[in-house]
Chain A
């Protein structure tokens, strides 16, 4: 059973760079996309971006200029960097595996499972 464990700094000052890593245990790393998702306090989920084992990435256009997602296949890990953080980046950050399947005549559909435990990142001066 695949498990995701994530870690990283929980308190940052404005303008610093957020850095989180997610490790994948108990399953295949290749053949999937791996995502980062965040949730500001009291608000909904926001997809940040994703990467596959080859390093191909997709990013949320609203964050693309500040986000870098990278992968280390030797360790079955992927990482998130978000530059120039502000208080608006305060959130719980989750990593998750992206799964895909075909559905007859419909395009491929996706879902997130499993999720990491979440890391609260607070940006404050």
Chain B
């Protein structure tokens, strides 16, 4: 079982805003990172740290954190944002161990 919990599936209407959440005790201390994965492709980093976007990631992607919950927000979702999204952080033991959330399948309607 994952120490980071994500909703298995979320849907959003085209152009609307959606928030994907990730819960876990370790998130009270460590920032999460977020990855987008489309079918048959390797995951791609979309958000890291407090709210940092790698070069090439549209600014409609943003991140936030409160308590034991990290969130990925897509403002004005596009059809190409339909994908699986995974959060990642340290495990709650504080050791150098890393854990992924179970993933959220985002459907853009």
Contact = CB atoms under 8 A, between A and B. Distances in A.
Nearest to A58: B96
A86 B98 CA distance: 23
Contacts, number: 73
B83 interface: no
B103 A115 contact: no
Contact of B100 (A46, A61, A99): A46
Given A35-B98, A44-B102, A58-B97, A112 B2 contact: no
B30 A109 contact: yes
B95 interface: yes
The binding surface of chain A is classed by DSSP as strand
Interface residues on B, range: 20 to 34
14 contacts: A45-B88, A47-B88, A50-B98, A58-B96, A60-B97, A61-B97, A99-B48, A103-B49, A109-B49, A109-B89, A109-B90, A111-B48, A112-B88, A115-B44
A19 interface: no
A66 B69 CA distance: 33
A106 interface: yes
Contact of A113 (B29, B54, B96, B103): B54
